[in-house]
Amino acid sequence: MKDLFERIVKDKGPLGKWAKQAEGYYVFPKLEGPISNRMKFNGKEVLTWSINDYLGLANHPEIRKVDAENAKEYGMAYPMGARMMSGHTKYHEQLERECAEFVSKESAYLVNFGYQGMVSAIDALVTKNDVIVYDMDSHACIIDGVRLHQGKRFTFKHNDMESFEKNLVRATKIAEEHNGGILVISEGVFGMRGEQGKLKEIIALKEKYNFRLLVDDAHGFGTLGKTGAGAGEEQGVQDDIDVYFATFAKSMAGFGGFFAADSDVIQYLQYNMRSQMFAKSLPMTMVKGALKRLDMIRTMPELRDKLWENVRGLQNGLKEKGFNIGKTNTCVTPVFLEGDIPEAMALVNDLRENHRVFCSIVVYPVIPKGMILLRLIPTAAHNLDDVSETIIAFSSIREKLEKGIYKRIGSAMLSSVQ
């Protein structure tokens, strides 16, 4: 019999094998200073495009003031214990009511962390007799939630309605055979590509097939729609989303999140989501802080206006220079380039050290081999000068990539560690 850790020592995984070269720089980087458009990295100021602080609330003076006051009054421990037994307050209930009202649902339920909440909600919503149909580009929290499912599940090609309906037919047959139901899962905004999920087209098929729809709108909440209520509002189908999820970790610049749905569904989740039943309650400092953040989203549309001014400037500028930004129709701005992992490392090193531009780098296995994805997240804290500086930097690195300069540097880096 093998030692359990034998594989772990020998096979670090597709990303882990680069740990010595990558850790602390390409992965697990250390950004320092107040969250803003410019922060410190490796002792140097960099223009930062990797923080999901869409509305610029993380370091907003009103938010800093409220957070400080709440921390002084409550600390980070209160309330203690699992919420069902000992950790509930009127402010938790108030936040749930206001979140539900904001996204036009009957009721809402807070969760401590978005990832944990999504995994647990999927587990609670389905039984072994039910079938799950979900977009193949879904976030890892959805994939991990689906893995817990003991029944059948099918993926459909990303935003491909022909593939979706084909899998609905398969799901319907199995659900009927087992006296089960169908849960469809999509994202409001796909965080890597920046495309909105085709919620309107998915919902149109409800007339033909009997399914319920769960939408993860982590990147849409606060950024899309007339009021900022997300992708469902943007597409005019919010009422037809059966279970809506949003996180506080992006537009709200905090942590935690909520599910919103009809009251009977929310009550079921309250009594059946194991991740919340057996976990400490969301701290009061964050709950009251979230009330302030939500109020600012409702009453300060200028934050969203500034965000979209920067989004349009960045995306239009990149397209004018011939960059491939895919089909994004949200704030998420992907820039697709061709190259291997060593080339990507050399390119990003140049971008950060010489151009002082910091953005997220995504490579295989998150995206196909031979591709480099540089993901930029515009925020309300950026400005159009930041946009111009970034486009100049990207034009420079693309030229070097096409000339093979990064390939030579990457090969030298690779040979030095072999």
CA distance 290 to 359: 27
User: With a threshold of 0.85, does the pTM exceed it?
Assistant: yes
Q: Is the separation of the CB atoms in 130 and 182 below 8 Å?
A: yes
Q: What is the pLDDT of residues 214-251, one digit of tens each?
A: 999 999 999 999 999 999 999 999 999 999 999 999 99
Q: Are residues 217 and 118 in the same domain?
A: yes
CATH number of the domain within which 401 lies: 3.90.1150.10
Mean pLDDT, residues 159-173: 97
3-state class (DSSP) for residue 313? helix
The proportion of the chain whose per-residue pLDDT surpasses 70, expressed as a percent, equals 99
For residue 409, give the amino acid letter. I
What is the rounded distance in angstroms from the CA atom of residue 196 to the CA atom of residue 232?
A: 10
d(CA 56, CA 161): 35
Residue 248 domain-assigned (yes or no): yes
Whole-angstrom distance, CA of residue 281 vs CA of residue 287: 10
pLDDT for the residue 169: 96
* Domain's final residue, options 299, 321, 344: 299
Question: Both 161 and 43 in a single domain?
Answer: no
**Residue 254 pLDDT more than 60?**
yes
pLDDT on residue 49: 97
- Indicate which CATH number applies to the domain containing 200: 3.40.640.10
Q: Which two tokens stand for residue 355?
A: 């151009």
User: Between these two residues, 262 and 9, which has the higher pLDDT value?
Assistant: 262
Q: What is the arithmetic mean of pLDDT over 153-173?
A: 96
| pLDDT at residue 413 tops 70 | no
Report, in this order, helix, strand and coil percent for the chain, each rounded to 5. 45, 15, 40
Of 110-114, 126-130, 351-355, least confident by mean pLDDT is 110-114
Position with higher pLDDT, 389 vs 278: 389
Domain boundary among 299, 326, 357: 299
Selected residue with higher pLDDT from 412 and 32: 32
Q: What total of structural domains would you count in the chain?
A: 2
Residues 107 and 143 grouped into a single domain: yes
Band (414; pLDDT cuts 50, 70, 90): low
Interval 68-101: pLDDT, tens:
999 999 998 888 888 888 878 999 999 999 999 9
pLDDT at 406: 87
Confidence of residue 356 (pLDDT cuts 50, 70, 90): very high
Both 262 and 295 in one domain: the answer is: yes
Task: Note the pLDDT of residue 280.
Answer: 86
Percent of the chain beyond pLDDT 90? Answer: 78
Q: Are 417 and 21 in contact (CB under 8 A)?
A: yes
Answer whether residue 415 shows pLDDT above 70. no
Q: What is the average per-residue pLDDT within 147-170?
A: 96
Q: Residue 1 domain-assigned?
A: no
Integer Cα distance of 9 and 6 in angstroms: 5
From 278, 299, 320, give the residue that closes a domain. 299
Domain span including residue 200: 61-299
pLDDT band of residue 379 (cuts 50, 70, 90) is very high
Q: Are residues 70 and 155 in the same domain?
A: yes
